[in-house]
Structures are given as C-alpha cells and as structure tokens.
Amino acid sequence: MKETDIKTLLYAHFLCIFSVILSVLLPSFFLENFSILDTHLTWLCICSLFVISINLVLYLVPKPNTSSKRSSLSHKVTRFLKCCIYFLVSCFSLHVVFVLYGAPLVELVLETFLFAVILSTFTTVPCLCLLGPNLKAWLRVFSKNGVTSIWENSLQITTISSFVGAWLGAFPIPLDWERPWQVWPISCTLGATFGYVAGLVISPLWIYWNRKQLTYKNN
C-alpha cells in the first residue's frame, strides 16, 4: 500500500520536474532569441503556466484526496473561484513580502510580481490542489506533527524547499561578479526553481527512507 503510494508520488513528481524542464527547452523551438536570462519574464510566464497545468492534471487524474468527490457543480465552481482568489492573494502578499525585503517599490514592478507569481506557483498551487481553499488545513500541514499522508508530507517538503531556494537565491545579489543572473529577481527565481525541483526529488526519497518511522494519524 505504502510502496505503491510512494511510487505514484514519484511519478507525479517526475511529471512536475518534466514540466519545468520542458518550459526551458520547448519555447526555443517556437520563439526566437529565447533564453532563460535574456527573456526571463517570458520564461517565468511559461514555466508557471506549465507547472500550474501539470498540477491541475495531476489533481484531476489520480485524485489523492478522496473527500471532495461527491459535490455539486456550483460547489465546484465556487471552489474553483475561491482557489483563484487565493492564488491571487498569495501572489500579492508575496509581492508585499518582497518589497519589505528590499525589492524596489516602483521600478521593476513587473519583475517582482512575476517572481511572486512563480513562487506562488511552486507553493500555493500544489497546496490548493491538495488541500483546497482551507486555511486551517494549511496551517495544520505546516506545523509540527500535523501531516496526515505522504502527499502532505511531500507538499511540506517541496514548499519549504522552494521558499528556502528563493531565500538563498538572494545571496549572490550583492556580490560584485557582474554576472547577468545576479540581477534582481533572476537569481531568486532560479533559486526558487532549483529549490522546487530539489524538493520534488528529495521528498519521495526522504519518505522512502523514513517509511518505517512515518506513522500518520488519520483524523
């Protein structure tokens, strides 16, 4: 039971990683002069679109959460709208956090906002897909001993690693190497992406490694 769960998790994560890689490779066939650094904003949009769509597909296909299966169409629509609102709110609040961290207020607004978008893509979207627009559940998952399944466990790991990646990504900015990727917010977005991918890779392995110790309260 558990082994198969972990296997499904692994495949799902491979799909997500694949979508990130695809977002790097695919556009260069359609767009001229596409590269991550030069046309960074385009890449950000494409990457976030890809990751969102993969997450949606994953949400619709394997149904890891079985609770909300039977519900009316209107309920589904309101739920979807709520999710959209949550996503937007998370984008804006992340933007505010970036500004508080010292991002320029007026210049580079679009860049900062797209960074917020991609970071919420990596963090909020999986949460919304898995837990739904339910703040209590989110808080439960992100507190000590609140995890109830391996899906939530992997969610915890990927989200935290995306945040940590973005956080670490800010470190090279003050260095005087004069590289193109040191410009705000490129190093942070790259850091977030690497963190996300690393979280996707690590979480199945970590769960597999600790499968004996992990006991989930089913409440």
Partner 1 sequence: MRLGCGVFAASCVAIEVLGVAIFLRGFFPASVRSSSPTGHQAEPPAPEPLAGASSNWTKLPLPLFSKAVIVLIDALRDDFVFGSKGARYMPFTTYLMGKGPSHSFVAEAKPPTVTMPRIKALMTGSLPGFVDIIRNLNSPALQEDNVIRQAKAAGKRMIFYGDETWVKLFPKHFVEYDGTTSFFVSDYTEVDSNVTRHLEKVLKRGDWDMLILHYLGLDHIGHVSGPDSPLIGYKLREMDGILMKIYTALLTKEKETLSPSLLVLCGDHGMSETGSHGAASAEEVRTPLVLVSSAFERKPGDIRHPTQVQQTDLAATLAIGLGLPIPKDSIGSLLFPVVERRPMREQLRFLHLNGVQLSRLLQENVPAYEKDPGFEQFVMAERLHGNWVKLHLEEDHSGALLNLGTKVARQYLSALKTLSLALSMHVAQYDIYSMAVGTIIVLEALTLLLLSTPQVLHRRAELEVPLSPPMFSLLFYLMFLVLSAIHVVVCTSAESSCYFCSLPWLAAGGVMVLVSALLCVIASALARMVMDSTLLQKSTTHPCSGWSEVGLLLLLGTVGHVLSLGASSFVEEEHQTWYFLVNTLCLALSQETCRSYFLGDNKELPHCFHTEPASVGAICMQQDHIACEAPKGGQADKGPCPSGARRGHVRWAVLAGPWLVLACCRLLRSLNHTGVQGAHRPDLGHWLTSASHKMELSCLAALSLLVIFMLAQRGCSLVSKVALALGLVGVFCYRVAIGNLLFPWQLTNRGISKGILEARFVYVFVLGILFTGTKDLLKSQVIVADFKVKTVALWELYSGLVLLAALLLRPHNLPVLAFSLLIQTIMTKFIWKPLRHDVAEITVMHYWFGQAFFYFQGNSNNIATIDISAGFVGLDTYMEIPATFLTVFGTYVGPVLWAGHLAHFLSAEASSYSDSAMSRACFCYALICSVPVATYIVLVTSLRYHLFIWSVFSPKLLYEGMHLLITAALCVLFTATSQTGHTRAWVKTGARNQ
Q: Which is nearer to partner 1, 60 or 100 (CB)?
A: 100
Residue 109 Cβ vs partner 1, minimum distance, rounded to whole Å: 16
Q: How many Cβ atoms sit within 10 Å of the Cβ of residue 174?
A: 7
Q: Which amino acid is present at 59?
A: Y
Instruction: Return the residue matching tokens 């210049």.
Output: 107
Q: Which is nearer to partner 1, 25 or 100 (CB)?
A: 100
Residue 102 Cβ vs partner 1, minimum distance, rounded to whole Å: 6
Cα 65–66–72 angle (5° rounding)?
115
Residue 14 Cβ vs partner 1, minimum distance, rounded to whole Å: 31
CA distances to 23, 161, 181 from 178, rounded to whole Å, are: 26, 27, 9
Residue 159 Cβ vs partner 1, minimum distance, rounded to whole Å: 13
Residue 136 Cβ vs partner 1, minimum distance, rounded to whole Å: 8
Q: Which is nearer to partner 1, 70 or 136 (CB)?
A: 136
Q: Which is nearer to partner 1, 171 or 209 (CB)?
A: 171
CA dist 75 and 54 (Å) reads 23
Q: How many Cβ atoms sit within 10 Å of the Cβ of residue 195?
A: 25
Residue 99 Cβ vs partner 1, minimum distance, rounded to whole Å: 7
Distance of CA 89 to the CA centre of its chain: 15
Q: Which is nearer to partner 1, 42 or 146 (CB)?
A: 146
Alpha-carbon torsion (64, 218, 195, 202), positive or negative = negative
CA dist 157 and 205 (Å) reads 11
CA distances to 5, 83, 195, 199 from 164, rounded to whole Å, are: 27, 24, 7, 10
Q: Which is nearer to partner 1, 55 or 112 (CB)?
A: 112
Q: Residue numbers of the site for partner 1 (CB under 8 A)?
A: 97, 99-102, 135-136, 139-140, 143, 145, 167, 170, 173-176
